[in-house]
Amino acid sequence: MSFTKKVVAGQTIAAADFAKFFGDHFSEFVKTGFEVSEGTGLVVDISAGTAYVKDASGYMYQIVSDATETTTLADDSTNYVFLHAAATYITDSTTATVPDDAILLATVVCASGDVTSV
């Protein structure tokens, strides 16, 4: 067995080291907000909030939104709204598989040009 010290006294710690440390030791979660609610027609509103999401490499990132976001969903389908640790923070899909860099925010059913359940 071998041991490695990642941080030693006086060492400058890189941001990537912190992101990896938190990704190794904590689970993804929504701290506040990011609540999905019915908008108009096929649009859903996602409230401002703070969440912690891992990317595909397991690095943890804080995602902060200070305004309501919107996305338009597919009609006559069950849609899944995801929050990503990537440049495109909010996405939706009609496939339930959660991407490697995302967490599921909501499952939304749409029919006849309207959101029927969130």
Which of 51, 39, 111, 60 is closest to 82 using CA atoms?
51
Q: Quote helix, strand, coil % in the chain, to nearest 5.
A: 10, 45, 45
Over residues 17-39, the pLDDT tens digits come to 777 877 788 899 999 999 999 99
Task: Please determine, for residue 4, whether its predicted confidence score (pLDDT) is greater than 80.
Answer: no
> What gap in Å lies between CA 36 and CA 117, rounded to an integer?
11
For residue 5, give the DSSP letter: -
pTM of the model: 0.84
